[in-house]
Each structure stands twice: as structure tokens, then as C-alpha cells.
Amino acid sequence: MKYTQLGRTGLKVSRLVLGTMNFGPQTDEADSHAIMDAALDAGINYFDTANVYGWGENKGRTESIIGNWFAQGGDRRERTVLATKVYGNMGTEGEPWPNQDKLSALNIRRAVDASLKRLQTDYIDVYQFHHVDRSTPFEEIWQAIDVLVRQGKILYVGSSNFPGYKIAQANEIAARRGGTIGLVSEQCLYNLAERRAEMEVIPAAEEYGLGVIPWSPLHGGLLGGVIKKEVEGGRRASGRSADALANTAVRAQIQSYEDLLEKHGLEPGEAALAWLLTRPGVTGPIVGPRTAEQLESALRAVELELSQDVLEGLDEIFPGPGPSPEAFAW
């Protein structure tokens, strides 16, 4: 495994981030524990989750699965850089009540304590805002974070799904207040088929020293060889991939993508991950394996070096938007 520092911090993290969103809803606890063990054995030390994972009446379940894994000992917690998130509503389904979501100081305080209990740990390495909260000023948010840092409950803070201007606003207010060092990472939607983050989000992250953590690196499976799987195994795309492939222009684009990689003897999913690892500012993409086999495929991407011909071909098939403001102005 290769490692890098998370943004401007001294924290060393793996170039792949283990996403746990499937733990509970799609992968049972025993298999989830086996995947986490395999990830650690392979050198992945950065694990990502969120308080709402498990979803619906089972939200919080994923953190509990991770907590039970930590409780097995064997230095599992000590070897893991743990990231979780706050924002989503953790109240009882069908019984809404105020202050059980978003980024008020009250909800942040309650959400941290609840996550720590489920995770069976006394601190969180990277505590992430899952979405922007337009109702809560950053002065209040950073005041709450300062308290948690002093209490030793969190070490670093990151954002997720933030636009570029919010990254700037958050860190400018943090710098003005003193205390916390501000955001150190941004988790955003970024992959070959969705490159809008290159316009504003990634430049802002680089300017303020945030590590970029792309989520959905295979764009819901669309970049994982869906057409090839249809032809070879009769396995048809489903969900978002199926909807996208119903568009003839998108299907032609994905076919060109798969043809290019087949020409160079590359697996689509591995190449899509390897491409992200070449991008400026990227710390490491989140991979969310449902099985051990999917984890093994993701691990191969770390050692994969894409040739200049492949990189140029990918840019032709999936041209980025270009930098801002040139992407939309002269």
C-alpha cells in the first residue's frame, strides 16, 4: 500500500479509503468484519463511515458494526484512521423532533457522543460535515468543534459535498477565530464521468490545503465494465447505471471507454481508480466493497500505472470542464 499525508496535516493515510456504507444494508456483520480485516492486512488504514449509514430504521447500524469490530482488539482501533460524519437526521422515523440533524452546536455535541458510543471508541480522527448547513453560521460550528477538540473527542475536521466557496468561507472564519486549524479534507463526487469538481471544489481544496477524497469513483458502477459484463455474463446493469445506459450517447461513451481499456489490457474498474490517483489534490478515492473480491480488485489499482496514451484517451472520451472561470467565460 502507498501512503500520503491528508491535506496539509501530518496525518498519514492510505491511497485507498475503505468506505463502509454497504456494511449492514448489503453486507452482513461477519462479512463486514472480514473485509475490514483484509483491508488492514493490505495496508488500508483510512476507514470512512457516517452516523446515518444503515439508513431508515437501521441508521447507526454501520457505526455499530465497526464498533463491534474494534471491540475484538488486536490493535484494530490503533491501526485505523477513523472518519465519520454528522448532518443527517438521526431521529426516530415518523417522529420528527427539532435539533436531531444538521450542524447546530447542540446537534454536533449530541451526534459526536452517540457516534463514539456506537463506534466503541473515545475519539474520532476525522469528523466530517456531511453537507452544508445554510442555517448555522460557521462561527457557531467552529465554537462547537473547538470544545470537542479540547475534550479530545475529535482530532481533525473535514467536509463533504461542499462547494468551493463554502470551503473558503469555512477556513477563512476558522483562521479569523483562531483555535481549530479548519477543514483538512473534502469528500466530493468525482470520477471520470463526473468531473465538475475540477472547476471550483478541487482548486479551493488545494488552495486551503485540504485532501480530496472522491466518493463514487466508479460512478455507481457505470465505470466498472457494465457493458462487458452484459455481453460476457448476461448480467444487466441496474439502478443508476441502467438509467444512464438507456441514453444512447452515454452508452456510446461507455462503450468507447471499455474499448480503449480492452485495447490496453486493462480492467475498467481498476483503471478508473488508478486515474483518480493521478489527479492533483486527490488523497485517495473511497472504495465501498460488498465482497472481499471487490476489495482485491480495488487494491490492484494502487499499483497500476496508466500510460500517457491511456490518459490522453480517457481525456478524449471524458473531457473535463476545464478550470473556472475559463470553463464558462473567456
Q: 3-221+268-311 has which CATH code?
A: 3.20.20.100
Question: What confidence score (pLDDT) does residue 234 get?
Answer: 63
- Cα 15 from Cα 158, distance rounded (Å): 17
- Cα 133 from Cα 85, distance rounded (Å): 13
The model's pTM: 0.96
Q: Which of 46, 53, 190, 208 is catalytic?
A: 53
Q: Are 74 and 39 spatial neighbours (Cβ–Cβ below 8 Å)?
A: no
Q: Structural domain boundaries of the chain? A: 3-221+268-311
Question: What confidence score (pLDDT) does residue 230 get?
Answer: 87
Q: How would you write the pLDDT of the chain (330 residues) with one tens digit per residue?
A: 999 999 999 999 999 999 999 999 999 999 999 999 999 999 999 999 999 999 999 999 999 999 999 999 999 999 999 999 999 999 988 888 999 999 999 999 999 999 999 999 999 999 999 999 999 999 999 999 999 999 999 999 999 999 999 999 999 999 999 988 999 999 999 999 999 999 999 999 999 999 999 999 999 999 999 998 888 876 676 677 888 998 999 999 999 999 999 999 999 999 999 999 999 999 999 999 998 899 999 999 999 999 999 999 999 999 999 999 999 998
Q: Is the dihedral of CA 291, 294, 298, 299 positive or negative?
A: positive
- Kindly give the residue spans of alpha helices, DSSP state H, lying in the chain: 29-41, 61-70, 76-79, 105-119, 138-150, 164-177, 201-208, 226-233, 239-245, 248-263, 268-277, 292-302, 308-317
- Cα 101 from Cα 116, distance rounded (Å): 17
Nearby residues of 73 by Cβ (< 8 Å), 6 or more positions away: none
Nearby residues of 76 by Cβ (< 8 Å), 6 or more positions away: 36, 40, 69, 70
Query: Identity (one letter) of the amino acid at 100?
Result: Q
Which residue do the cell numbers 475503505 mark? 18
Q: Is 53 a catalytic residue?
A: yes
- Cα 35 from Cα 293, distance rounded (Å): 9
Question: What confidence score (pLDDT) does residue 235 get?
Answer: 67
